Structure formats: structure tokens, C-alpha cells
Amino acid sequence: MPSRLTDAFRAHPVHLHHKHLDFTSLQELPDSYKWTQLDDHAHYPSGGAESVPVIDLSDPNAFKKIGHACKTWGVFQVTNHGFPSTLLDNTEKASKSLFCLPIQQKLKAARSPDGVSGYGIARISSFFSKLMWSEGFTVVGSPVEHFRQLWPQDYTQFCDIIEEYQMEMQKLAARLMWLMLGSLGITKEDVKWAGPKGDFEGASGALQFNYYPACPDPDRAMGLAAHTDSTLLTILHQNSTSGLQVLREGTGWVTVPPIPGGLVINVGDLLHILSNGLYPSVLHRAVVNRTKHRLSMAYLYGPPSSVKISPLSKLVSPSQPPLYRPVTWNEYLGTKAKHFNKALSSVRVCAPLNGLVDVNDHSNRVKVG
């Protein structure tokens, strides 16, 4: 499967040059990194009293709380999720040591224009005229090829950590899928592609490490511009520096504070489609910090490559017609590579019925070029 996901990216090359990545040499924010209000959603206020729900997975009411969080926020944090904490620590250490390598070393593992794995700037950079204050590393499938270039002597220990991380994340993602779908009344019979054991056997994930160095002028810089994820769901671990923000209708940007051992769960575009628009895929971004670096690790979870994702039949009725046409993950990634934040509207077949707001129509408020 990973090779199929790789194919989707190969079909939609992104030509980015990676030469701006030596942040350590920059004492001042260059103009090419200075974002204005027009470049993003800077005109939305930050703050507000509301906060993203935190849900303890050992709480007997977790199920109900997840459904409510998905409907009203499209994002929540989980604690007591059972993901091994030493594995989180070791993976964070591995990615920190990756980003701390000299730039020339990191560039040996640079992502090629038509590739998906490797080191480089955010793929969404091509939609913006300004550069983002971050660097990234993506792993799809085995990391061995790139890790050998980064750490010729001791790459195997890093590979072991990452492979275990992918395996554990896949298990947690399947569990979260059922909690999120179950809240909509969806059972294993309704999702044939979840496989006979209901463990989403053929599903797969990409691992995205993001590093945001301390920035001399954080108020004018942008770590990662506003976007939704092209996934079913995303599981994000962040280090102790805050920076992730989600856009809350009527409130503005809300910071998702790091909580020790907590994981952030986002509804992605494909779960939005599957839920026939009931769960919004949350618009989010990362801002940067003057004195502290920030690190995040996102597990981007998607369906098997052959599966067409469309609104689940239980969620469709004459009064709730399907809002989206069926798409595979690969097709959707292609649409995203072309239309970015307008991708969801481009696969929509039906306008929301009277009185229903299309929670994901960001097209009128996102500048994409």
C-alpha cells in the first residue's frame, strides 16, 4: 500500500527549493518570511475563553464526548489512550536529533519533487508567496533508505523506533475510528472496507515530523499555514512548546495547549466526507516562538488505496442527500495538490440544504495563491 500512496504524490509533483532551510544562520526575519494579514488568517482574533475538549479515553462517557467534540470542534485531545509513553519520548528524541543534524546532512535525504518521503519544506508552501518558518520530514512506508543517508552508522536503531511508532499509531487510529464513527451510529457492518476483523487492515498512514526553530520575529512569521488534513483522522503529538491553533467559528484562533502525554486528534477531509458533513475537518495552523523551538509529529491516517470514500449510506436520506461524490485517497490527494483548501468544495455534489451551514467551506476565507 505505501507505494500506492507514493504514486499519488508522484503524479502531482511539487517543485519546491529547499535552500532556505538553514534557520540557524538567520538573526533577523527575512522579508520572504514576513506574512501579512492577506497571506493567511491573521485577521482572525486569537484567544477566547473556549478550549478544545480534552477526553480521557478511560472515562465510560468518552464515546459520547468524542461524538460531541467531533461535531462541534472537529478536534479534541485524548489522555489515557494507551499509546506507550516511552515510544512517544523515543520518537520525539529521534526526530529532534534528525532536525539537529547539519543542513548538508539533512539535504542528503531531501524529498524529491515527485516524492513523498524525506526532508524538506511543507508541501503546501507552493500555494503561498511567503515562506514558512519550519522544516519537515515525511515517512511513508520504510524509513530505511533516507535514514541510511542521515545516519550511515546507526540508522537501524532509528528505523526500529519509527517502525514501532507506525505500528502502534495504526492500532490507535483504528480504535479512534470506531469511537468517532460509533458516535454516529455506524457499526462494523456499515464499513465493509474495515475488513473482517474491523481493524482497518489495509489502511495506512504517513508520518510527518515538523520542526519550528525559535524565531526572531514570531508575530510576523508563520510556522505552518492554515490547512485541513487530507486524511480520515490525524493523531498529533507536540512537544512542550505550544503553537498549534485551530479556527473556531465565531471565536477565532484557539491554541491547543500541549498536555503531558496527550495526543491531539483532528477530523480530516475524508472523515468529513464519510460523515456526510456532520463532522467538520478542522482548519489549523502552527505559529512559532521567539525563544523555544517546537516539534510536532503527525500521524496522517487514510483508507486503503482502492477504497472509494463517500458519505455512509446510514447518514444519507431524502432530507440529507449525499454532499460529496466518491473519491479514493489518491484521487483526493491529487485534488488537494491542485485546489488546496478548495479541494472539498471541488468534490461536493450537493449544496447544503437550507439552514445547514457547510462547516468546511473555507474557500471564501482562505487565500491560496
* Chain residues that interact with ligand AKG, rule: CB under 6 A: 208, 210, 224, 229, 236, 238, 243-244, 284, 286, 296, 298
**Does 135 help bind Fe ion (rule: CB under 5 A)?**
no
Q: Which is nearer to ligand AKG, 226 or 347 (CB)?
A: 226
Q: Which is nearer to ligand AKG, 280 or 322 (CB)?
A: 280
Q: Which is nearer to Fe ion, 158 or 212 (CB)?
A: 212
Taking the complex as a whole, the smallest distance from the CB of residue 155 to Fe ion amounts, in Å, to: 27
Active site residue 148: no
Taking the complex as a whole, the smallest distance from the CB of residue 157 to ligand AKG amounts, in Å, to: 25
Q: Which residue number places its CB atom closest to ligand AKG?
A: 296
C-alpha radius of gyration, the chain, whole number = 20
Q: Which is nearer to ligand AKG, 134 or 310 (CB)?
A: 134
Residues 6+ apart with CB under 8 A from 100: none
Number of chain residues interacting with Fe ion (CB under 5 A): 1
Contact letters for Fe ion, residues 224-253 (x by CB under 5 A): -----x------------------------
Name beta bridge partners: 286: 224, 244
Distance CA 343, CA 337 (A): 8
Sign of CA dihedral 317, 336, 230, 254: negative
Contact letters for Fe ion, residues 176-215 (x by CB under 5 A): ----------------------------------------
Q: Which of 123, 248, 285, 294 is the catalytic position? A: 294
Q: Which is nearer to Fe ion, 92 or 229 (CB)?
A: 229
Taking the complex as a whole, the smallest distance from the CB of residue 189 to ligand AKG amounts, in Å, to: 32
Distance CA 135, CA 133 (A): 7
Closest CA to 289 of 243, 220, 226, 237: 243
Is-contact 243 301, C-beta < 8 A?
Answer: no
In degrees rounded to 5, what are phi and psi of residue 71?
-70, -40
Q: Which is nearer to ligand AKG, 266 or 305 (CB)?
A: 266
Helix (H) or strand (E) holding 76: strand 75-79
Taking the complex as a whole, the smallest distance from the CB of residue 268 to Fe ion amounts, in Å, to: 8
Taking the complex as a whole, the smallest distance from the CB of residue 318 to Fe ion amounts, in Å, to: 35
Helix (H, G, I), strand (E, B) or coil at 354: coil
Taking the complex as a whole, the smallest distance from the CB of residue 88 to ligand AKG amounts, in Å, to: 15
- In a 13 Å sphere around the CA of 324, the CA atoms on its Cβ side amount to 28
CB atoms within 10 A of CB 79: 15
Q: Which residue number places its CB atom closest to Fe ion?
A: 229
Helix (H, G, I), strand (E, B) or coil at 270: helix
Q: Exposure string (b/e) for 140-161, b if CB count within 10 Å is 16 or more?
A: bbebeebbbbbbeeebeebbeb
The one segment of 18-26, 57-65, 222-230, 269-277 that binds Fe ion by CB under 5 A: 222-230
Residues annotated as catalytic are: 294
> Where do contacts with Fe ion occur on this chain (CB under 5 A)?
229
